[in-house]
Amino acid sequence: MSFTLTLISAPANPAVDADLVAKVRSIVSVDTGFDWLMEGVACDFVIPSHPDLANLRAELHTALSQRPVDIVLQPSAGRKKKLLLADMDSTMIQQECIDELADEVGLKNMVSDITARAMRGEIEFEPALKERVGLLKGLSLDIVDKLFAERITFTPGGKALIHTMKANGAYCALVSGGFTHFTSRVRTLLGFDEDRANLLIEEDGRLTGEVGMPILGKDAKLARLNDLIRERGLDRSETMAVGDGANDLPMILNSGAGVALHAKPKVAAQAQHVINHGDLTGLLFIQGYKAEDFVLA
């Protein structure tokens, strides 16, 4: 079985230069094929065989630890995936929507602390969500338009990721522990095939402080992964999942290519692939797509 070693940096901060390529070749110390995915940004080394892949991975991480480069080592076969499940908050967008809502009632610091603890896996997600939503009671939902206009920013590479995978026959699902008021907009703007999230209960245009049941948490994300595998007749190896928080771990660990994107330590420590430096185009490079393959609109 041959393996592919991929070096990935952010297109906004290219870090894969000739010296780095030479350094990696010396560490691998076997004949490898080489291919640029995006010159200066990402490249592939095809390794026909290697006596000790585990130690090779560790040696590469040590040698490149001071470089803004992510390292992915995987079997060469079956890299392109037919299903993507993606988290929304701090993954497809750069904010936590509930924290931004809380800012409108002067409670962002309190709510952000609860959010961070839940994402690190220190407290259970469901009760933490109920507690945070309770603090938003009375908030007008008109604020959603304002937040999208003034605060919500998309993680670079998101539209290219979704459009490229869909152009190649993949199905893309947005599965969030956040709220449908936000996921419906992100789905439309980025091109997802579906979105699933929690429902904020409202009366007369204001939040009641309650969330619809059952809460969409880690078990629901995994269940949607399993349902889509069955519905679309896929093998689990043909799937990819990406997220950053503890509630994303089950779908990350049970997909063919689980990606921790700028993730909490608990998530990064367990995921198959870790993107700490790249953006969402890193998920395309993991699959072997080249920059000229990207679909941007």
Just list the catalytic residues: 87, 89
Say if residues 71 and 60 touch (Cβ distance below 8 Å): yes
Report the alpha-carbon distance of residue 265 to residue 119 in Å, rounded. Answer: 10
Q: Are strands 239-243 and 3-8 parallel, antiparallel or unpaired?
A: unpaired
Task: Work out the number of other CB atoms within 10 angstroms of the CB of residue 273.
Answer: 23
Say if residues 198 and 229 touch (Cβ distance below 8 Å): no
Report the alpha-carbon distance of residue 237 to residue 260 in Å, rounded. Answer: 17
Chain CA centroid to CA 83, Å: 13
Report the alpha-carbon distance of residue 194 to residue 107 in Å, rounded. Answer: 31
Q: Which of 154, 180, 155, 175 is nearest to 98 (CA)?
A: 180
Report the alpha-carbon distance of residue 128 to residue 110 in Å, rounded. Answer: 12
Specify the DSSP element, H or E, that contains 33.
strand 33-38
Residue 10 structure tokens: 């952010």
Residue with tokens 């890299």: 79
Residue type, 221: K
